[in-house]
Amino acid sequence: MKKLAVLGSGTGTNFDALFKEFGSQIVLVISDREDARILEKAKAAGIEAIFEKGGPDLCSRILARLEGIDLVCLAGFMRLVKEPLLSAYEGRLLNIHPSLLPLYPGKDAWKQALAAGASETGCTVHFVDAGMDTGEVILQERVPVLKDDTPESLHARIQVAEHKLYPEVVKQVLAKLTS
């Protein structure tokens, strides 16, 4: 059984979707925010939950915690991943982003889509590289932008797509790691 770790900075809705699908395969959750709800959710599920304060050596400290982990899933982790974590987990480090990359990288992508007058947006699961949301795209799900959308309503619909797409992609990547 392959072991997963989840890195997150927020409420943990994508963690919930991953946990629903992979359960006990998720053995570790790390957050750079001590008050992140994802840590509470992990603890409630009996998963080791660790707060790692930011700083220039954050990725080194995270890497030291990942012994025995096969796949790392970013789920609202609001920091750029750097060396040595990038090299150690190349091809085994995934992220979910709330837009159809390469459009609208970075924070609040759904607000960027609305501001640009986009007719559609969506979500992307991609491999993590040194850039901000620049890694190789694995799979995307389209979400229409409705004429009466607010940032909140659009984000909610994107999250529905994320919660379906992310577990699907994780299954695909795990299958490749096993073969």
Q: Within a domain: residue 20?
A: yes
Q: Within a domain: residue 83?
A: yes
Query: Which tens digit of pLDDT belongs to each residue from 78-93?
Result: 999 999 999 999 999 9
> Which residue is catalytic, options 97, 126, 155, 163?
97
Q: What is the mean pLDDT of residues 60-66?
A: 97
Q: Give the count of domains, the chain.
A: 1
Q: Residue 32 is part of which domain span?
A: 4-97+126-140+164-178
Q: Within a domain: residue 174?
A: yes
Here the tokens at position 145 are: 């932008």
Query: Which tens digit of pLDDT belongs to each residue from 3-22?
Result: 999 999 999 999 999 999 99
Query: Which tens digit of pLDDT belongs to each residue from 14-53?
Result: 999 999 999 999 999 999 999 999 999 999 999 999 999 9
Q: Within a domain: residue 66?
A: yes
Here the tokens at position 49 are: 């939950």
Whether the pLDDT of residue 179 is over 80: the answer is no
Cα-based distances in Å from 20 to 32, 52, 73, 90, 150: 23, 25, 14, 25, 28
Q: Strand 137-144: give its sheet, edge to edge.
A: 48-51, 26-31, 4-7, 71-74, 93-97, 120-127, 137-144
Q: Within a domain: residue 13?
A: yes
Is 97 tagged catalytic?
Answer: yes
Q: Within a domain: residue 158?
A: no
Q: Within a domain: residue 33?
A: yes
The CATH number that applies at residue 83 is: 3.40.50.170
Cα-based distances in Å from 1 to 23, 104, 177: 12, 36, 11
Q: Within a domain: residue 112?
A: no
